Amino acid sequence: MSDPQFVFLNDAFVPLDEARVPVLDRGFIFGDGIYEVVPVYGGRPFRIAEHLARLERSLAKVRIANPRDAAGWTHLIEQLVQRHPWPDQVVYLQVTRGVARRDHAFPEGVAPTVFAMSNPFVHVPPAVRARGIAVVTLPDERWLHCDIKSTSLLGNVLARQAAVDAGAAECVMFRNGFMTEGSASNIWVVRDGRVLGAPRDHLVLEGIRVGLMEALCAACGLPLEFRNITREEVFAADELLSTSATKEVLPITSIDGRPVDTGVPGPIYARLYAAYQEAKSA
Ligand code: PDD
């Protein structure tokens, strides 16, 4: 890339290589921060209002004052996107509690650190879409506030690495016998023409694609239900799907080394993927 990549840090755009955060930033010391990942298609952020509403909710839950209102964030994202030539981008936003001497309790009078960057959207290769991805099942060992989009992601990082170590792309986690989600995606079970998702509670991050799946299923005439899903139901699925900002909707065709149904992406995946592509260009 000839042009430098610019990032936004606190109050200015700076080249990525020059962006520096003090070592006492609580994001660095405690993982005391919140983030968002917003896909951008053809220069237009997708479901921006929903992403900014989730950012607001996550910040409120950890009691960090939101440094910008929705219009302010939207403006910042637009400026960042316009600085880069890629038609499709992934914008990363992060707000930490700021820089202060190390003490677990909140510091007083400290401004949050604001960081934003954009990268090219790396689309899932068609060959991967055609064969689907492999997952492994894992116990969900994370904390009990998975609804907060926190930068404290050690549980997710260890889960993803366990999947990679097993030759898989993602994991499906279980807590108390019920499916929660993947390390960085929501997971969906398809059985008898119905789509099932985990309850939208504190044990999962409610992906922006969760609301989108509701809309897409409604548009496709597919019944969708959020409820506790057992391990047996996951293994008996006709299809398994994974959704996230960066992967959109992906077919899972193998679980713990066994094929999901016949081991090829299914018809409901194909319908939802097509509906997703339509929603992007709407
Ligand atoms: N992760 N669950 C977890 C734990 C996630 O980290 C993500 C997204 C999702 C899906 O959310 P959404 O549909 O809003 O992308 C569910 C992002 C992409 C990441 O951490 O990079």
Q: What tens-digit pLDDT sequence spans the chain (282 residues)?
A: 446 899 999 999 999 999 999 999 999 999 999 999 999 999 999 999 999 999 999 999 999 999 999 999 999 999 999 999 999 999 999 999 999 999 999 999 999 999 999 999 999 999 999 999 999 999 999 999 999 999 999 999 999 999 999 999 999 999 999 999 999 999 999 999 999 999 999 999 999 999 999 999 999 999 999 999 999 999 999 999 999 999 999 999 999 999 999 999 999 999 999 999 999 998
Q: Can you tell me which atom of ligand 1 is nearest the CA of 51?
A: 14
**CATH number among 3.20.10.10, 1.10.150.20, 3.40.50.300, 3.40.50.720, domain 126-281:** 3.20.10.10
CATH 3.30.470.10 spans which residues of the chain?
Answer: 6-120
Whether the Cβ atoms of residue 1 and residue 120 lie closer than 8 Å to each other:
no
* Residue nearest ligand 1's atom 4 by CA: 184
CATH 3.20.10.10 spans which residues of the chain?
Answer: 126-281
**Ligand 1 centre distance from Cα of residue 2 (Å):** 31
**Ligand 1 centre distance from Cα of residue 193 (Å):** 25
* Residue nearest ligand 1's atom 6 by CA: 184
- Pocket around ligand 1: residues whose beta carbon is below 6 Å from it? 37, 156, 181, 184-186, 205, 207-209, 243-246
Whether the Cβ atoms of residue 94 and residue 35 lie closer than 8 Å to each other:
yes
Is the whole-model pTM more than 0.95?
yes
**Ligand 1 centre distance from Cα of residue 206 (Å):** 8
CATH class of 6-120: alpha beta
Q: What angle separates helix 70-82 from helix 48-61, to the nearest 10 degrees?
A: 120
> What amino acid positions are annotated as catalytic residues?
149
